[in-house]
Copies of this chain bind each other. A is one copy, B any other.
């Protein structure tokens, strides 16, 4: 059950980094949706490795094949199965970790939990699994477009370099640079930093901010499945994520209620709020304002340096960084964050259809 996400718009992913293929089944996509395969591919291309000098040089085309659920270009209401074959696997890059646990990776916990582990490329714990999420998320985005909902993520922080509040940025410029930061001057600094870190054979963390515009009022469910609780879970389920905050977030805890409260007012017949410290969500339900949240990514665990560790027999040993890895994960994480946000919103859109008589 751990490999499925969603209630009504539900995805189930499968696949290991170095197995024959990864993929996803989407169960619950409403019938009649135009499935634009070019769009799905363009989303996969935003995530794929080898895009630029600041991402891993590993090459995967990440071309997908739809096996079911689409007829004459439209969804039929039956499960949409998507398969992405694995290519350019250098499994032998991983033979050194068959018996050794890489620091800050899932090797030790998988080995202990299951008693067996496909160590090649991290197996199931590899971020390669997120390609399946991006494919499914692209279909969720197509559904959201029918409701004019727009999701926009970008890199807001790399190391200590950060952007100002999203409301001051031109989000349409995110894809203009390889780090996916809408402020070109800050982007330049981020790229320099990542490049320097890479040359140090090291890695660095960062933050992705996501903004959802034009959400209708009423998405999200009390009590446990609050909109932000599901967004939080969805984001925290992405590899390397260490934190989630929405609206005023951690900083907001320092404010007083009189400063933080989000007054309602009437703007031409439409109910709006003033500060949007609420982040577009009140009582777990969207209120029609912009939804915005931050997602913290730790520095990539694989570094091109020798590190002390232990093997499965408890012997102390050294792990050497091998393989081709990202010096900073956030540029490629942007489409993953968007995909997961789309999946959450698509699910709540369907759930909201049943809330009233």
Residues of B near A69 (CB, < 8 A) are: 14, 16
Residues of B near A123 (CB, < 8 A) are: 71, 76, 78
Q: Of B15, B30, B314, which contacts A269 at CB under 8 A?
A: B314
A197 within 8 A of B: yes
A184 within 8 A of B: no
A30 to B221, CA, bound (A): 13
Check B256 against A204 for contact (C-beta < 8 Å): yes
Of all chain B residues, the one with the shortest Cβ separation from A231 is B236
Q: With A257-B303, A296-B252 known to touch, is A218 a contact of B112 (CB < 8 Å)? A: yes
A263 within 8 A of B: yes
Of all chain B residues, the one with the shortest Cβ separation from A243 is B245
Check A79 against B13 for contact (C-beta < 8 Å): yes
What would be 19 A-B contacts, judged by CB atoms less than 8 Å apart?
A4-B12, A13-B223, A15-B79, A15-B81, A19-B68, A20-B68, A21-B81, A30-B355, A104-B262, A106-B283, A110-B285, A204-B254, A226-B237, A243-B243, A253-B299, A258-B303, A263-B308, A264-B309, A271-B310
A131 within 8 A of B: no
> Measured between C-beta atoms, what is the minimum distance from A128 to chain B in Å?
11
User: How many copies are assembled?
Assistant: 4
* 0 or 1 for each of A203-238: is its CB under 8 Å from B? (1 = yes): 111110000000001101111111011101111110
* 0 or 1 for each of A294-317: is its CB under 8 Å from B? (1 = yes): 101111111101011110001110
A244 within 8 A of B: yes
Check A81 against B118 for contact (C-beta < 8 Å): no
Check A115 against B32 for contact (C-beta < 8 Å): yes
A59 within 8 A of B: no
Given contacts A1-B225, A3-B79, A232-B235, 4 further A-B contacts (CB under 8 A): A2-B222, A14-B68, A233-B236, A271-B310
A109 to B31, CA, bound (A): 14
For residues 260 through 304 of chain A, which have their beta carbon under 8 Å from a beta carbon of chain B? 260-266, 269, 271, 273, 277-279, 282-287, 294, 296-303
Check B108 against A287 for contact (C-beta < 8 Å): yes
* 0 or 1 for each of A150-172: is its CB under 8 Å from B? (1 = yes): 00000001011000000000000
Q: Of B23, B114, B273, which contacts A76 at CB under 8 A?
A: B114
Check B236 against A79 for contact (C-beta < 8 Å): no
Q: With A14-B67, A67-B23, A237-B284 known to touch, is A250 a contact of B112 (CB < 8 Å)? A: no
A103 within 8 A of B: yes
Residues of B near A253 (CB, < 8 A) are: 157, 159, 205-207, 242, 296-299
A246 to B15, CA, bound (A): 27
A228 to B233, CA, bound (A): 8
A7 within 8 A of B: yes
A249 within 8 A of B: yes
A90 within 8 A of B: no
Q: Of B10, B65, B298, B357, which contacts A260 at CB under 8 A?
A: B298
Check B12 against A104 for contact (C-beta < 8 Å): no
Check B263 against A244 for contact (C-beta < 8 Å): no
Check B310 against A265 for contact (C-beta < 8 Å): yes
Check B78 against A296 for contact (C-beta < 8 Å): no
Check A68 against B308 for contact (C-beta < 8 Å): no
Check B243 against A246 for contact (C-beta < 8 Å): yes
